[in-house]
Amino acid sequence: MIGRLLMVPLLAGIVTAAALPSPATAADAAAGKTKAKKCRNCHGIDGIAKIPIAPHIAGESAIYLQVQMKAFRSGKRTHEIMSVVAKDLSDEDIADLAAWYSSIKFKVEMPAE
Ligand code: HEC
């Protein structure tokens, strides 16, 4: 069972990579890691949240991360912190940040029953 659960994020990553259209500017995970310094106090450079109100974003699909950041930027999704953070992000920043955080792999451990 645990093995199957671990496969889900792995497969999601593969599918995402295959399904992404080639964007005008290729997403640069290394640049995203540098840009993630702005995010570290809350989400960590490693995508594991450092404060209780922030979500873990490590290993989320690049598409999901981009859609959420763009939704904060456009005002479709609002949050007192993220709406401010996202306002200053360019499309390239969003693509790079999504490439970085989606490239992080993690393992889950189920609680003992
Ligand atoms: C001061 C803390 C803080 C900083 C800095 C911050 N975030 Fe957030 N972020 C949050 C919180 C809190 C939420 C949850 C928003 C909500 O509840 O809707 C969030 C949500 C998100 C989400 C949506 C996650 C999901 O599961 O839907 C993404 C993506 C995200 N942040 C990316 C970033 C990126 C990239 C940066 C850096 C450029 C950043 N954030 C900087 C606090 C922060």
pLDDT for 1-41, tens place per residue? 555 555 555 555 555 555 555 555 689 999 999 999 999 99
Please state, as a whole number, how many other Cβ atoms lie within 10 Å of the Cβ of residue 26.
Answer: 10
The first and second tokens of residue 109, run together, are 């451990």
The pLDDT-based confidence of 113 (bands split at 50, 70, 90) is confident
**CA 66, chain centre distance (Å):** 8
- Residue-level pLDDT at 26: 84
Ligand 1 center to residue 55 CA distance, Å?
7
Q: Ligand 1 centroid vs 39 CA: distance in angstroms?
A: 7
Domain 2-103 grouped into CATH 3.40.630.30: no
Ligand 1 atom at minimum distance from 69 CA: 29
Angle at 27 between CA 21 and CA 31, to 5 degrees: 175
pLDDT tens for each residue of 52-111 = 999 999 999 999 999 999 999 999 999 999 999 999 999 999 999 999 999 999 999 999
Ligand 1: atom nearest CA of 98 is 35
Q: Is the dihedral of CA 58, 68, 92, 11 positive or negative?
A: positive
